[in-house]
Amino acid sequence: MTVIEEFTFDTSNFLFFFLIFILTYITQFYLRYFSRQNPIPGPIPFPLIGNFETYRPNSSQWANELQKKYGDIFEVYLGGLFSLNNKQIWISNANLTNKLLSSHSNNNFPYRTTENEGLDKMDMTSKGIVFNRNINSWAYNRKILSQVLMAPKFLKKAVKNTKELFCEMEKYWEKLGYLNEQENDFNLASWMTRFMTDSVFNLTTNTNSHALLNYFNTLNKDEEEINNNHLLKESEKFVNYIRLHFVACIFFKDTPKLLRTILPTNRRKSKELLEVVAWLNNKVLELIRERKKEIENAEPDEELSADMLTLLLTINTNRDPKYAKATVDDDLINARPMSEDEVRENVYEIMGGGIDTTANTFCYVVYYLTHYPEVKQKMLQEIEKIFGKDTNCEITYEDINKLNYCGAIIKEVSRLMPTVSVLFRVSAKPDEIAGYKFPANTQFMINIPGIQMHTSYWKHPEKFDPDRFMYNEQIPKNALLYFGGGARVCMGKQLAILQLKALMILLYRKYDVELVDMSGGIKYTSTVVNHCEELPVKIKVKNSV
Ligand code: HEM
């Protein structure tokens, strides 16, 4: 008699099958990894996890370590079930960036990210500039925004605005006792963020965000002013929500839909962030519609404000002198004005792109100038040569442009301490770089510090020497990338340099600036933006005891 054993699926069976599944998964993972088509050097990844390095917060630090170990082109894998399909190619060599940073708008690396459901949800892949994957729409937005950011009347407004805000900040410093003989120290990094917030809000919308005033009230413990002033509270909400809009973009971009919808904490966070975005969208649309009315009601020959909102709303309309004068043969005649949604997206992007970048860069400039007094001296001589000794003299846009040595300082500081540490590119079609073949949708990461410290392009790269930019020597192509390069180069470059130079004049002509801690390095956290955590300084009015 045959006995048929009954098969029961108990825990040990389950564990056995689970183990088999795991072993099969790991084996096929490594078989695929070791037989991959393009064996680019790089650390060996782990199934599901990818490379541990990618979890470390300071990307520029680990990228530089891997560059030393694996060379100027290496690959890392991100986590996920299909992590072998989710890799980044890191490039730390200027010569290898030629295709990636081509200035042709129809080049093969037009995107910053791969297709991304989270960014689609945020409506950012078909509008605006930074994450726009619709190349026609990106090119249209870029063209219009360049017209605004390069307009002399806009840049002149930026100089005036920097000067006025600096006077406001000095008033608060005085009230808080920073300028008295005890020389109380304070965190310049926190002030610079508020300064740039007010500056960029004013330049984009011609409204006051009161970030400096709100910060002053907080430090001054002026509870009554903080709680009772409805206008200040509303401005603070607006500023906070603009920051949250940026947080929302990163959260939706980096959190897969499944994790966003299954985990209760993420579900709550998504809901809250979407509420913030909805509030902001309404608020900015309100501003746009009010401004549209003001423009409509203005007399035809009345000079309109030179803020970005007004300029975006008038370009390619009859209020635009170039457009109004265009003939049927001009290209301009077919140009269309921006829609309200397009204007709104550009306002967000300028606020997101123009505040922290310039504020942090200024902190790094101050850090280096305190460590290199001879450079500071040379800078002051240049400023005096152009603006004279009177600290109250007019600072014009044209004169600021003559400050070549100040420009060289900004370049050298940003070479050693770039505020943005990595550039992103994604291929549209298969391509070849450094002899390796890459399919469409490959993610490339350009390691800015790796290139800006490369001995092939820089003599004594570790040395702080602004003079290297004063010689007539050519900088090798794509060796200085702190504003990016190619078709997607930073759009606020001229504006940022103008603001930084104006701040250098305003601060250093009048004050001596010292760091509280001269022996410590810069305190910063690094993700994509190197964010200056704190910069405690003491300042005193020059020639005072
Ligand atoms: C010191 C200050 C700044 C630094 C270091 C900086 C740096 C950068 C970098 C590295 C990029 C990426 C470029 C690339 O991928 O090749 C970028 C893009 C961009 N920046 Fe800036 N930026 C600064 C200030 C500003 C300001 C003031 C604005 C606006 C008023 C601005 C607007 C933008 C925009 C719109 C883009 C996206 C361009 C595109 O994708 O086509 N930036 N910036």
Q: What's the CA-to-centroid distance between 434 and ligand 1, angstroms?
A: 27
Q: What's the CA-to-centroid distance between 481 and ligand 1, angstroms?
A: 11
| C-alpha distances in Å from residue 76, one per residue of 62, 81, 308 | 11, 15, 40
Q: Establish whether residue 353 lines the binding site of ligand 1, counting it when its CB lies within 6 angstroms of any ligand atom.
A: yes
Chain-centre distance of CA 431, in angstroms?
28
Q: How many residues does the chain have?
A: 545
Residue 471: band (very low, low, confident or very high) from pLDDT cuts 50, 70, 90: confident
Q: What percent of the chain clears pLDDT 70, i.e. is strictly above it?
A: 95
Nearest CA to ligand 1 atom 12: 484
Domain contains 525? yes
| Residues 495/354, Cβ–Cβ less than 8 Å | yes
Q: What is the pLDDT of residues 127-138, one digit of tens each?
A: 899 999 999 999
**H-state helical runs in 330-403:** 340-354, 356-371, 373-387, 397-400
Q: pTM of whole model > 0.90?
A: yes
Q: CATH number for the domain including 455? A: 1.10.630.10
Q: How many domains does the chain have?
A: 1
Domain contains 220? yes
Which token pair is 306?
């030179």
Q: Given this model, what pLDDT does residue 86 score?
A: 87
C-alpha span between 188 and 168 (Å, rounded): 15
Domain contains 78? no
Q: Establish whether residue 148 lines the binding site of ligand 1, counting it when its CB lies within 6 angstroms of any ligand atom.
A: no
Q: What's the CA-to-centroid distance between 488 and ligand 1, angstroms?
A: 9
Nearest to 446 by CA among 172, 199, 190, 88: 88
Domain contains 8? no
Q: What is the DSSP string of 50-99?
A: B-GGGGSS-HHHHHHHHHHHH-SEEEEE--STTGGG-EEEEE--GGGGTT
Domain contains 232? yes
Q: What is the pLDDT of residues 332-391, one digit of tens each?
A: 555 889 999 999 999 988 988 999 999 999 999 999 999 999 999 999 999 999 998 877
- Structural domain range at position 320: 136-541
Domain contains 31? no
Q: Given this model, what pLDDT does residue 237 score?
A: 86
C-alpha span between 530 and 363 (Å, rounded): 11
Q: Given this model, what pLDDT does residue 146 score?
A: 93
Q: Establish whether residue 420 lines the binding site of ligand 1, counting it when its CB lies within 6 angstroms of any ligand atom.
A: yes
* From 224-228, 386-390, 504-508, the region with the lowest mean pLDDT: 224-228
- Residue located via tokens 């897969």: 256
Which residues, including other chains, have CB under 8 Å from residue 103's CB and lie 6 or more apart? 486, 487, 489
Report phi then psi at 422, rounded to 5: -145, 145
Query: Which atom of ligand 1 is least distant from the CA of 496?
Result: 27
| Residues 108/427, Cβ–Cβ less than 8 Å | yes
Residue 545: band (very low, low, confident or very high) from pLDDT cuts 50, 70, 90: very low
Mutate to test the pocket of ligand 1, among 357, 358, 422 (most ligand atoms within 8 A of CB): 357
Across 413-438, average pLDDT? 96
Q: What is the pLDDT of residues 113-167, one digit of tens each?
A: 999 999 998 888 998 999 999 999 999 999 999 999 999 999 999 999 999 999 9
Does residue 544 register a pLDDT over 70?
no
Which token pair is 133?
């994957």
Query: Which atom of ligand 1 is least distant from the CA of 101?
Result: 16
Q: What's the CA-to-centroid distance between 13 and ligand 1, angstroms?
A: 57
Give the H/E segment covering residue 171: helix 152-175
Domain contains 99? no
Mean pLDDT of all residues in the chain?
90
Which token pair is 431?
């391509």
| Residues 168/385, Cβ–Cβ less than 8 Å | no
Q: Establish whether residue 513 lines the binding site of ligand 1, counting it when its CB lies within 6 angstroms of any ligand atom.
A: no
How many alpha carbons lie under 13 Å from residue 79 in its C-beta half-sphere? 10
Give the H/E segment covering residue 540: strand 536-541
Q: Establish whether residue 357 lines the binding site of ligand 1, counting it when its CB lies within 6 angstroms of any ligand atom.
A: yes
Domain contains 83? no
Q: Is residue 490 a known part of a binding site?
A: yes
